[in-house]
Amino acid sequence: MVILALPIVIGVVAYLAWRNRAVRGCRWRANVAGDKGKLRMYRCAACGAEAFTARKGPPEQCMRHLGNGGL
């Protein structure tokens, strides 16, 4: 039983680890068409979240955690 269950447990743990990394590692793409003045619009290619930032570079984290798909 243990031998049968072990691969399943490893698989679940690996899946969860992969999912967490996928959520954290958002792939932000600049969306020039969505810029509002000095605010730059970024869209996450991983989860589809949209975010605005006035700083240089993409947002540090996924905005999906903050609500339903960004601001």
**C-alpha–C-alpha distance, residues 43 and 12, integer Å:** 29
Considering beta carbons, is residue 41 or 44 the nearer one to Zn ion? 44
* Residue 51 sits in the site that holds Zn ion (CB under 5 A): no
Residue 50, strand partner residues: 43, 70
* Residue 58 sits in the site that holds Zn ion (CB under 5 A): no
Question: CA 52 → CA 5, 6, 14, 17, 43, distances in Å?
Answer: 45, 44, 32, 28, 9
Considering beta carbons, is residue 41 or 62 the nearer one to Zn ion? 62
Shortest CB 38 distance to Zn ion, Å: 23
Residues at the contact surface with Zn ion, assessed by CB under 5 A:
26, 44, 46-47, 49, 62
